[in-house]
Amino acid sequence: MTTEGLVRPDGPAKLTGAARYAADVPAESALAAALVSATVPNGRLAELDAAEARDCPGVAAVLTRADLPTLAELPSPPLGYPALPLQAEEIHYEGEPIAIVLAETLEQAQYAASRVRATYTGVREPIAFGEAEDVVPHSGHVLGGTDEEKGDAGAGLAEAHVTVTATYTTADRHHSPIEPSATLAWWEGEQLVLHSSVQSVAVAQQTMAALFSLPPEHVRVVCPFTGGGFGAKGYVWPHLPLAAAAAKVSGRPVRLVMTRAQMFTLSGHQPATRQTVSLGATRDGRLTALRHDSVNASGRAVDYLENTTHSSTWLYASPAIETRMRVQRVDRPGPTPMRAPHEGPGMFALESAMDELAYELGIDPVELRLRNEPDVDPMTGLPFSSRRLVECLREGAERFGWAERSPEPRSMREGNDLVGWGVAAATMDTFRAPSSAKVRIGADGRIVVETGMQEIGTGLPAMVQAVVAETLGCDPGDVEVRHGDSGFPPHAGTMGSMSAMGLGSAVQAAAREVLAKLDGRQGQPLAGLLAESGLTELEAEGRWSPEEDALAAGRSARYSMHTYGAIFAEVRVDADFGVVRLSRAVTRYAAGRILNPLAAHSQLTGGFAWGYGQALLEHSDVDPVLGRFVSKNLAGYLLPANADLPDLDAAFVEDDDRFANPLGAKGIGELGAVGVAAAIANAVFHATGRRVRNLPIRLATVL
Ligand code: MOS
């Protein structure tokens, strides 16, 4: 594909170190903070002995529960983790903060934190995933998700010529952004100022205002750059309220930076899932029933629902579809969305089951998917706003050379390598949320855009430049993008693959407004137009929101609105050792109009790397006795490196979704992480004849 497009204007600042991240912001007389964390997964704090820590050099204070203000209840649906730190004697998870040490330097704070002694009472054996009762998740969560049903799946399975039922599991995974979460907090009278590494200054502002019972305009959150988020920085986690509370109590600015280990307990994770899929089909490969049940692990204090089964309601035509989701409350920290949430784990199960069905039927797995392409949304009957899954499958198969595949497992050996080809579909829900931006033209023709948007590495400033340049007919280099301040026009957040839609449309509206005010046309020199109007500066604000929809879930109420893709993978499995190498992959995606091909292509390759990690490397195991994640570091938690990744041909097919927003664009980032694991597992089956239903794929399962 063409990878032409705009290079990111924020690139040089990031590469040279000029970009300032939350922990780098200078603050005179700031205290460094270190957290003391619970070493048990449940029970209650009995005694906390901070005497020795208070006497350590440089220590200004050791704050315990008694020293901190009582925070208000979080707004519902929760935008943050409901079990707030240091608000109760109860321990909700191993790693929960129980004290905060403030000192003149970070080293002094960390040393003193190591001298705090805690004892606990009522500690019982931790409950692990698989041991607890399933519960129905509460329905008020912002991400929603419910059981869905159409037709009679039991009857559909009974009358099917061929059925497949299998259980699949996915592992707990951690986001591991390069930049750990951090907050620098200070108070100016009743005003709270926060420099914090977040994916949404708007969410942080609203949540912190609620917690501290302040009007939102009394909270300013600044975050021009976020060093990776992937969902770990979408909600408000303990570092925000703790830094703010400590600053209030101490009367000095407080800087609180998470350690790498704390990133494994204090900013969420993708929870393990156990999913059972049943498919029934006629002999010619038409589905008669689709049933998808899912349970995910959640913390004891939160019912986080990994919305795994939702995509099974729109992907394939079937007269009967039944989905069911439950959670298990176990002893561990609260989960949170992680790229790609929901469809990421869910589509591993569905797309593996489709592959199993293809073998049972003796039908090519690409052909099986084509035969079950629906005309309208199978669950709701709504029309698709745009759907190009067939084009993705056909073009991907063509480029991959799928027609050369010999269908039998273990039939494509090359030397000592068992070669396997696998395919899977990808899809993501299209979340949309309101956004706004200001566009200002100066006398020199320079254009400044201001928005509360977070740049988390996905390339949004270049996208803004592209939209302004397209709308005004100007040079993208003339557009300066300022972002990441709650004082700028609000943006919902850089999460859920929704920013290009909302922000892009808001920027387009603002730029159009500028032209209208100047009575100008696209491509006319702006400085000249401004002078003619007798102005030295002109500003317009644009807003966009998915107006016809109930915003609660951000989904369209009139159209079945999603993105699609197809993944083709070639693996080579060492016949003696079972080592799986991904040698080649072709991916094709449909995600509306592509605003900046260069950045979009990067998102696809980055997303593919996430899928590779899910398939072959990532798992955060929980110690069954201690009830804690075992490897809280990047030595024990494996992530893919460039050398792991194959020759990848990633591209988009033509698409344009005029129902999604005025730009015709849809979300990209998370889509690229969906379906990869299933394609790889399906390729492993083709290579070896071993069906892997548990992620990550391990040598022991393949051999
Ligand atoms: Mo994404 S998991 O909404 O950062």
595-626 confidence digits (pLDDT tens): 999 999 999 999 999 999 999 999 999 999 99
> How many CB atoms sit inside 10 A of residue 77's CB?
13
Q: Please indicate, yes or no, if residue 138 is contained in any of the structural domains.
A: no
The pLDDT tens digits of the residues spanning 385-399 come to 999 999 999 999 999
Atom of ligand 1 nearest to the CA of 229: 4
pLDDT at 551 over 50: no
**What separation in Å is there between the alpha carbon of 270 and the centre of ligand 1?**
11
Average pLDDT over residues 246-255: 98
Give the position, in ligand 1's atom list, of the atom nearest the Cα of 199: 4
Kindly tell me if the per-residue pLDDT of 279 is higher than 80.
Answer: yes
Q: Is the pLDDT of residue 196 over 50?
A: yes
Claim to verify: residue 345 and residue 254 sit in the same structural domain: no
Position 142 scores a pLDDT of: 53
How many whole angstroms separate alpha carbon 463 and alpha carbon 8? 8
Is the Cβ–Cβ distance between 318 and 290 less than 8 Å? yes
For 666-703, what is each residue's pLDDT tens digit?
A: 999 899 999 999 999 999 999 999 999 999 999 988 98
Q: Is the CB of 428 under 6 A from ligand 1?
A: no
Residue 339 Cβ contacting ligand 1 at under 6 Å: yes
Does residue 646 lie within any of the structural domains?
A: yes
Q: What is the DSSP string of 36-74?
A: EE-SSSSSEEEEEE-HHHHTSTTEEEEE-GGGSPPPPPP
What is the CA(177)–ligand 1 centre distance, in A? 12
Q: Which of 445, 437, 436 is nearest to 518 (CA)?
A: 445
State the Cα–Cα distance between residues 126 and 132, nearest whole angstrom. 10
Answer yes or no: is the C-beta of 256 below 6 A from any ligand 1 atom: no
Rounded distance, CA 81 to CA 652, Å? 37
Q: Are residues 502 and 649 in the same domain?
A: no
pLDDT grade for 300, boundaries at 50, 70 and 90? confident
The ipTM (two decimal places) reads: 0.97
Query: Are 528 and 613 contained in the same domain?
Result: no
**pLDDT > 90: percent of the chain:** 87
What ligand 1 atom has the least distance to the C-alpha of 670? Answer: 1
Residue 606 CB less than 6 A away from ligand 1: no
Q: Is residue 361 part of a domain?
A: yes
Q: Which of 235, 264, 293 delimits the end of a domain? A: 264
Do 201 and 332 lie in a common domain? no
Instruction: Please choose, from the candidates 383, 460, 393, 457, the residue with its C-alpha nearest in 3D space to the C-alpha of residue 427.
Output: 393
How does residue 524 score in pLDDT terms, banded at 50, 70 and 90? confident
Q: Which atom of ligand 1 is nearest to the CA of 497?
A: 3
Query: How remote is the CA of residue 347 from the centroid of ligand 1, in Å?
Result: 17
> Same domain for 352 and 443?
no
Q: Quick one: pLDDT at residue 2?
A: 45
CA of 435 to the centre of ligand 1 (A): 17
pLDDT of residue 144: 65
| Among 79, 143, 179, 230, residue to substitute to test ligand 1 (most atoms within 8 Å of Cβ) | 230
Do 423 and 399 fall within a single domain? yes
Quote the percentage of the chain above a pLDDT of 70.
96
Is 139 a member of any domain?
no
Q: Which atom of ligand 1 is nearest to the CA of 669?
A: 1
CATH of the domain at 105: 3.90.1170.50
Together in a domain, 305 and 239: no
pLDDT of residue 88: 86
> Are residues 42 and 59 located together in one domain of the fold?
yes
Q: Identify the pLDDT of residue 612.
A: 98
Q: Probe ligand 1: pick from 142, 200, 458, 495, max atoms within 8 Å of CB?
A: 495
pLDDT (0 to 100) of residue 618: 97
Distance 339 CA to ligand 1 centre (A): 5
Under the banding of pLDDT at 50, 70 and 90, the label for residue 553 is: very low
Ligand 1 neighbour 359 (Cβ under 6 A): no
- Domain residues for the domain of 629 are 148-172+269-431+556-702
How does the average pLDDT of the chain come out, rounded? Answer: 94
Nearest partner of 688 among 611, 569, 608, 576, judged by Cα:
576
Clarify whether residues 672 and 689 are in a common domain.
yes
Q: Are residues 284 and 340 in the same domain?
A: yes
496 lines ligand 1 (CB under 6 A): yes
| Cα 231 to ligand 1 centre (Å) | 4
User: For 119-170, what is each residue's pLDDT tens digit?
Assistant: 999 999 999 999 888 888 765 555 667 899 999 999 999 999 999 999 999 9
The answer to whether residue 79 scores a pLDDT higher than 60 is: no
Please give the distance, rounded to the nearest whole angstrom, from the Cα atom of residue 458 to the centre of ligand 1: 12
Residue 531: strand, helix, or coil = helix
Q: Is 143 in the pocket of ligand 1 (CB under 6 A)?
A: no
Ligand 1 center from residue 341 Cα (angstroms): 7
- Spatial contact of 542 and 510, defined as CB atoms under 8 Å apart: yes
Is 549 among the domain residues? no
pLDDT of residue 75: 61
- Last-in-domain residue among 544, 573, 588: 544
* Mean pLDDT calculated for residue range 298-317: 92
The residue contributing the CA closest to ligand 1 atom 4 is 231
Ligand 1 binding pocket includes 667 (Cβ within 6 Å): no
The CB of 198 under 6 Å from ligand 1? The reply is no
- Which numbered atom of ligand 1 lies nearest the CA of 232? 4
- Taking the centre of ligand 1 as the mean of its atom positions, its distance from the CA of residue 495, in whole angstroms, is 4
Is residue 607 lining ligand 1, measured as CB closer than 6 Å? no
CB of 495 within 6 A of ligand 1: the answer is yes
327, part of any domain: yes
| Structural domain total, the chain | 3
Report whether residue 230 contacts ligand 1, using a CB cutoff of 6 Å.
Answer: yes
Q: Which of 356, 450, 455, 670 is catalytic?
A: 670
**pLDDT value for 146:** 86
Supply the pLDDT for residue 50: 97
Please tell me if the CB atom of residue 203 comes closer than 6 angstroms to any atom of ligand 1.
Answer: no
Based on the fold, state whether residues 305 and 202 are members of the same structural domain. no
Is the Cβ atom of 177 under 6 angstroms away from ligand 1?
no
Residue 338 Cα to ligand 1 middle (Å): 5
Q: Residue 594: CA atoms inside 13 Å, Cβ hemisphere, count?
A: 25
- Please, which pLDDT band fits residue 5 given cuts at 50, 70 and 90? confident
pLDDT tens for each residue of 91-108: 999 999 999 999 999 999
Which residue, chain included where needed, has tokens 């600042």? 13
Q: Which atom of ligand 1 is nearest to the CA of 337?
A: 2
Q: Would you place residue 189 in the very low, low, confident or very high pLDDT band (cuts 50, 70, 90)?
A: very high
In sequence order, which residues have a C-beta less than 8 Å from that of residue 313 and are 6 or more positions away? 148, 150, 321, 323, 377, 378, 379, 380
Please tell me the least confidently modeled range out of 38-47, 199-208, 300-309. Answer: 300-309
Q: Is the CB of residue 591 less than 8 Å from the CB of residue 652?
A: yes
Inside any domain, residue 143 = no
Q: Find the CATH number of the domain harbouring 644.
A: 3.30.365.10
Asked whether residue 218 is assigned to any structural domain, the reply reads yes
* CA-wise closest residue to 95 among 273, 237, 241, 296: 237
Q: Is the pLDDT of residue 549 over 80?
A: no
DSSP code, position 23 = G
Band (pLDDT 50/70/90 cuts) for residue 550 is: very low
pLDDT tens-digit readout, 470-518? 999 999 999 999 999 999 999 999 999 999 999 999 999 999 999 999 9
Q: Is the dihedral of CA 65, 71, 73, 79 positive or negative?
A: negative
Which ligand 1 atom is the nearest neighbour of the CA of 338? 2
477 and 616 inside one domain = no
Q: Which atom number of ligand 1 is nearest to the Cα of residue 339?
A: 2
**The pLDDT value given to residue 4:** 80
Are 377 and 314 in contact by the 8 Å Cβ rule? The answer is: yes
Which residue, of 264, 293, 326, is where some domain finishes?
A: 264
Gap from CA of 531 to ligand 1 centroid (Å): 44
pLDDT at 76 over 70: no
| pLDDT score, position 143 | 63
Ligand 1 touching residue 92 (CB < 6 A): no
Q: Is the CB of 341 under 6 A from ligand 1?
A: yes
Q: For the purposes of burial, counting CB atoms within 10 Å of the CB of 50, is it exposed (0-12), middle (13-18) or buried (19 or more)?
A: buried
Rounded Cα distance, 197 and 455, in Å: 11
**Catalytic residue at 398?**
no
User: Which structure tokens are listed for 563?
Assistant: 């993105």
